[in-house]
Structure 1
Amino acid sequence: MKMKSKFILRILASTVSVVLLASALPFQSSELTTADAAQTTTISNPIIWADVPDEDIIRVDDTYYMVSTTMYFSPGAPIMKSKDLVSWEICNYVYDTYADGDKQTLKNGENDYSHGQWAASLRYHDGNFYVFFGSYGTGKSYIYKTSDIENGTWTRSEINGMYHDASILFDDDGRNYLVYGAGGTAKIKEFNSDMTGFKKDGVEQTLFSTGLDNLAGEGWHIQKINGYYYIFVIAWPSNSKRIELCYRSKELLGTYEGKTILNSGLGTYGSGVAQGGIVDTPDGKWYGLLFQDHGSVGRIPVLVPVTWENNWPMMGVNGEVPLTLEIDSDYAGTQLTKDDDFTYSSNKLDLEWQWNHNPDNTAWSVTERPGYLRLKNNTLATNLLDAKNTLTQRAEGPSCSSVIKLDTSGMKAGDYAGLSAFQFKYGNVGVYVSDDGTKKIYMANNGGYSDSATVGDSYNNIIEQTNLSGNEIYLKVDFLFNTVDSTGNSSYNIDKANFYYSYNGADWKKIGEELSMVYSLTLFTGYRSGIYSYATKTTGGYADIDYFDYERADWNASTVIKPNEYGWYFADGFEGDICSWQARGSASIQTSGRTAYVGSEALLIQNRTAAWNGAYKALNPRVFLPGNEYSFSVNVTYFDGTATDKFYLKLQYIDANGDTQYNTIAEGTGIKGEWIQLANTNYQIPAGASNMQLYVETANTTNNFYIDEAIGAADGIGILGAGVSKDIILGDLNSDNVINAIDLCLAKHGVSYGFDSKRYEIAADVDQSGTVDVTDLKLIQDFLFAKITEFPIAEKQDNQ
């Protein structure tokens, strides 16, 4: 949902204290917070349907923290936090850039794909948080440290050598260790006391080998619990799915015994759930946080209950990963991708964004053109995968959709810009500029992709193209990873992406061909939405992106949704997006740039054959609860027909008896060409209401009309708008419901010097002749002296 930046600025600049603002951040429709009242609720596995692999989890007091692998994306090693093990949000990154060589900056034909930051270990000790990871891109390993994991900066120590899938242990005797290794062999090495490197002449030896074949064992997680050292391992022996093993010993350097603690897929999706550690809750329950390879969406986190049996942490329910779990609270759920209208006060993007490789920070801005992401083409590229400054967010299952609005005004010949389904086998929908300056909308894929190809084999293969009319275009990618049946089982990998363009953000035209997405180890990450711009001929061009809009199929949807910092549950600005509004009866709706209360577009309602043919929006029943009060506001205007028109904001609903009812929320009389606001700060939804729809209509006419800035908020929240308009009473110029000498003075002033507003002029035309003159002044005076009790209507001339 695109939120108009100018509306936020208008609120901030206003001296009218009708909205209390906590900050200047724009509203995001996907923002959810946890509920107040705790209750037992059912959540589904996977708990996160997105690429969050190699998780390592800890609990500090009542907060869980998790680190994950993001490899070549920057910033990297995201830190996520949760209060319930289900609702996760990104709160920080360990680094902006871990290295700055040719590989990390896409220079000289080098890249860090499938390398970068691998399988980090997260631990808390003596008031400090530590993260360790190695990189095959640099052949080095890194230790990061901070006392403030959510907001702090991290100190960095560098170690020569890549220590594979390593795990930190702070032992009870004050000594610190690293367990690591590949090929099924667990090794241990001792850190120095300040955790900046390894201890000279410290412990360094092999602990054990699994003795398995194929993927014999890696993904180590060491934890000391109740006197045992437990080392958790993922393995994938021949003729088996991936399994989770556990080795234990009462002596760190002693003899370890091993056991398979989980050998399970997830429901009917058979890929083995494995690799991760365990964590306890404040009330003494235990869970494992593992992941499952799940096709092109990536490696997705799965929460598994743990039961202790003879001091073995056995995972699952009767050995199987459950499709659902009960948690003792409401929850917000997890959505790691969200809308962005690029309204920022500085060049610091929301945490959901990551760049493909290290960005060129001189080549992007969200402040140079306020409300837009500007991607500058400072270097040349041949295709998406060697282009700098592709900005990404995760795609999420089971399905999702991404939209951008692209302004191509700054693009030069040879420039390409658009929206990508980003992986090695990519699909792009965008615009390129031909040598003669013609702009082409196109869909392309990686023509160099194959199972044996390298990134260097990639090239842009255009499947379909068509001329662009004008400079602005809307681009969309639909991702379909899986479907889910009524039992919670997911289909096997569908993994399809389709590509579209539109000139109004509502009517979409498919372009190119369907992309069969493939999780390729060449990149080793799940698919993402990528916003790109690159030059192939000359530098100096740029692309402007107005907004990024994102929708996902419900998955572990929040049990309760709370408003954002302004008190708003939704705010529909209609900037190229109809924002889930629909037409009633014969009416049709579309966004239009003819007028806008704020920004550049509003929603046009036309082709009406009856007064009730308007526009409506279904209200979310998880937000708008029957019996409770809420604040609603919408701005309305029109340009055709009579001088005034009466508008209603209504609620249609089904009552407890199953009957359809209509309830007026607000009403107002508009003047042609002027905006009015229909608003009610304390509207109570009738008890027992269901199937609720908010809609706007006229009282009697079929005029076309426009709406803008439709907002639903918490009760009592005043919403700045065009101003609430009362019905026009002939003779009552100042709308105080009394006709008196003040009105006569205003009418005389208007006849002599012109009226201050159209409303005054209409109210002064008491004989409705279409002109305010001395006849109207005489009639108002006669009314004041009780010579008449109503105003006569002037006779129309034949030519009128």
Structure 2
Amino acid sequence: MIVMHSKDLVNWASIGHVVDDITQISPKLNYDRMNHHGRGIWAGAIRFHNGKFWVYFCTPDEVFFMSRASNPEGPWEPLHHIWEVAGWDDCCPFWDDDGQGYLVATHFEDNYKMHLFKMSNDGKNLLMDSDVIFHQYKGSEASKLYKIDGLYYFFHSEVRVESGNEVRVVMMLRASSLYGPYEEKEILHTHGVEMDREPNQGGLVQAPTGEWLFITHHGSCGYSEGRTLSLLPVNWVDGWPIIGEDVDGDGIGEMVWGGTKPITGYPIVHPNQSDDFNQPKLEHHWEWSHQPRSNKWSLTERPGFLRLHACIPLEIGDFFTVCNVLTQRGMKTANSQVIVKIDISGMEDGQEAGICHMGTQYCTLGVIQEGNVKRLKYNDTGEFTFGPSIKDSILWLKSTWNLTGWNNYSYSLNGEDFQNFGGQYKLNWGFYRGDRVGVYCYNERMETGYMDVDWFQYHYADNQELQQL
């Protein structure tokens, strides 16, 4: 779970991770199992309470976890497993004025019933006899609990019929007592994939200016950038936070597609970054597909390089079972380009290494060595194209894509002149995470050979284009 930081709610930078070792969640997330794609950390919540930052999240199979830290960059306390149970999601903590802590969550396997629990003083246990079901509707989830001007607000989303179609809508419950009775109101219309891509999960934020805003992701699936983030204005009307703009005067907000930043004076920040691997640790924007084999990668064996040692996939021919695939999130801009410079002099027979895109499918451009011969290999989810032999030790590989989400690979022997190779690949959303772009290394015959990555450069549209997007 990445922790991100912003001064203006628009430009965000990765500053750390809550969970260093995801096998604390499940052994299925380890390199020797790797069968938990899409089943790891689901929507969580971060809150500041009693001098610490607290994070609570669910997984669909192991469910409730928490950690806390004095500094959001870490170190975070060892992950604490609150309750081992299945079928829950979208939990959020809340501390009332008297210091009593609560946790709200949805039991989606039980018809999406929303529960409220009291927590122990240390926030590490649920007081089961306090369990109350306070709401239930089709698809009710994404809960956030607030106390604003003496009133309790339960934010959530649920599935309702709008204009003859089922869409996920944004709702709010309001009461003067935590246990109700609650009034209910829709506070943001959503119209589906084609109209507004269903903004729904998220949270209310108050800026230092006093202005209220709503940070949301769009629930629609299938886009290569994953679930896109939006920042929407909030206007309080008769004690209700109306999100977006009430265009038709019905008391319900509509999606807003542009506006003025609530806080000015801060520069554009690219959430994905280039890397020269000169730091003692991996930068925070990098993530492994599963918990990696620690002895199969290094930043110190050759200082200034990332060394990836080859390992045998758990299932031959299945890229999703290759350990130590290192990626970062691909962005959707008018012009995105990744160039990686690699040293392949350490490769051995049977080894393959290069650049990759990874979603619900995958596409790689790399070098495969057979005997003493190295040659290019393009792999689009099991469909191969082999290219010319590579005699040099240094190789540059490039991936380019644009707003349409179509990717093209190319290679260079001098870092300047690039030749296209392989077909066009459609980037895809990949288990809610969006397309991931990165590097890989494996050997289907034996655990020998390695690849050295000199640098990884990520280029975006220029700042003027970014400001217009």
Above 0.5 in TM-score?
yes
Aligned-pair distance for 1:264?
A: 4.0
Q: In the alignment, which of 49, 54, 60 is matched to residue 130 of structure 1?
A: 54
Does residue 323 (structure 1) correspond to residue 257 (structure 2)? The answer is yes
Aligned-pair distance for 1:395?
A: 0.7
Alignment of 1:574-653 (within 5 A): none
Alignment of 1:71-86 (within 5 A): 77-86=1-10
Report if aligned partners of 1:473, 1:503 keep a CA contact under 8 Å in 2.
yes
Alignment of 1:307-706 (within 5 A): 307-318=235-246, 319-327=253-261, 328-344=263-279, 346=280, 348-381=281-314, 382=316, 383-398=318-333, 399-434=335-370, 436-447=371-382, 461-480=383-402, 482=403, 494-520=404-430, 523-554=431-462
Report if aligned partners of 1:266, 1:323 keep a CA contact under 8 Å in 2.
no
Given the superposition, is the C-alpha separation of residues 123 and 556 from structure 1 closer, same or farther in structure 2, using an over 3 Å criterion?
farther
Helix, strand or coil: the match of 1:369? coil
Distance, in Å, in 2 between the alignment partners of 1:88 and 1:528 is: 18
Report if aligned partners of 1:232, 1:275 keep a CA contact under 8 Å in 2.
no
Report if aligned partners of 1:397, 1:552 keep a CA contact under 8 Å in 2.
no
Q: In the alignment, which of 131, 140, 144 is matched to residue 67 of structure 2?
A: 144
Aligned-pair distance for 1:133?
A: 0.9
Aligned-pair distance for 1:309?
A: 0.7
Report % sequence identity.
29
How large is the Cα RMSD of the aligned pairs? 2.2
Does residue 288 (structure 1) correspond to residue 214 (structure 2)? The answer is yes
Helix, strand or coil: the match of 1:136? coil
Given the superposition, is the C-alpha separation of residues 342 and 265 from structure 1 closer, same or farther in structure 2, using an over 3 Å criterion?
farther
Alignment of 1:114-125 (within 5 A): 114-125=38-49
Matching residue of 1:7: none
Report if aligned partners of 1:443, 1:463 keep a CA contact under 8 Å in 2.
yes
> 1:419-456: per-residue Cα shift (whole Å, max 9, x none)?
1111121111111112x321111111113xxxxxxxxx
> 1:180-201: per-residue Cα shift (whole Å, max 9, x none)?
1124421111111111111263
> 1:754-793: per-residue Cα shift (whole Å, max 9, x none)?
xxxxxxxxxxxxxxxxxxxxxxxxxxxxxxxxxxxxxxxx
Distance, in Å, in 2 between the alignment partners of 1:207 and 1:362 is: 49
Matched letter for residue 206 of structure 2? D
Helix, strand or coil: the match of 2:58? strand
Matching residue of 2:197: 271
Matched letter for residue 373 of structure 1? L
Helix, strand or coil: the match of 1:367? coil
Report if aligned partners of 1:180, 1:186 keep a CA contact under 8 Å in 2.
yes
Matched letter for residue 18 of structure 2? V
Report if aligned partners of 2:157, 2:169 keep a CA contact under 8 Å in 1.
yes
More displaced 10-residue stretch of structure 1: 368-377 or 257-266: 257-266
Matched letter for residue 505 of structure 1? G
Matched letter for residue 249 of structure 1? A
Aligned-pair distance for 1:155?
A: 4.0
Given the superposition, is the C-alpha separation of residues 325 and 510 from structure 1 closer, same or farther in structure 2, using an over 3 Å criterion?
same
How many residues are treated as equivalent by the alignment?
A: 446
Distance, in Å, in 1 between the alignment partners of 2:421 and 2:159 is: 41
Which TM-score applies when normalising by structure 1? 0.53
Report if aligned partners of 2:48, 2:54 keep a CA contact under 8 Å in 1.
yes
Distance, in Å, in 1 between the alignment partners of 2:445 and 2:79 is: 39
Distance, in Å, in 1 between the alignment partners of 2:166 and 2:268 is: 33
Matched letter for residue 548 of structure 1? F
Aligned-pair distance for 1:414?
A: 1.4
Aligned-pair distance for 1:306?
A: 0.3
Helix, strand or coil: the match of 2:29? helix
Distance, in Å, in 2 between the alignment partners of 1:200 and 1:151 is: 30
Report if aligned partners of 2:57, 2:66 keep a CA contact under 8 Å in 1.
yes
Matching residue of 2:145: 222
Report if aligned partners of 1:191, 1:197 keep a CA contact under 8 Å in 2.
yes
Aligned-pair distance for 1:507?
A: 1.5
Alignment of 1:60-209 (within 5 A): 77-100=1-24, 101-108=26-33, 110-137=34-61, 139-159=62-82, 160-162=84-86, 163-181=88-106, 182=108, 183-199=111-127, 201=129, 203-209=130-136
> 1:10-50: per-residue Cα shift (whole Å, max 9, x none)?
xxxxxxxxxxxxxxxxxxxxxxxxxxxxxxxxxxxxxxxxx
Please say which structure displays the higher CA radius of gyration: 1
Matched letter for residue 190 of structure 1? K
Distance, in Å, in 2 between the alignment partners of 1:463 and 1:219 is: 44
Which TM-score applies when normalising by structure 2? 0.90
Matched letter for residue 199 of structure 2? V
Report if aligned partners of 1:88, 1:334 keep a CA contact under 8 Å in 2.
yes
Aligned-pair distance for 1:316?
A: 0.4
Matched letter for residue 406 of structure 2? K
Distance, in Å, in 2 between the alignment partners of 1:548 and 1:246 is: 44
Report if aligned partners of 1:418, 1:532 keep a CA contact under 8 Å in 2.
yes
Aligned-pair distance for 1:286?
A: 0.1
Matching residue of 1:302: 230
Report if aligned partners of 1:242, 1:271 keep a CA contact under 8 Å in 2.
no
Helix, strand or coil: the match of 1:219? strand
Helix, strand or coil: the match of 1:99? helix
> 1:131-150: per-residue Cα shift (whole Å, max 9, x none)?
1112235x142110112223
More strand per residue: 2
Gaps of 5+ in 2: 247-252
Report if aligned partners of 1:234, 1:242 keep a CA contact under 8 Å in 2.
yes
Given the superposition, is the C-alpha separation of residues 93 and 386 from structure 1 closer, same or farther in structure 2, using an over 3 Å criterion?
same
Matching residue of 1:788: none
Report if aligned partners of 1:337, 1:352 keep a CA contact under 8 Å in 2.
yes
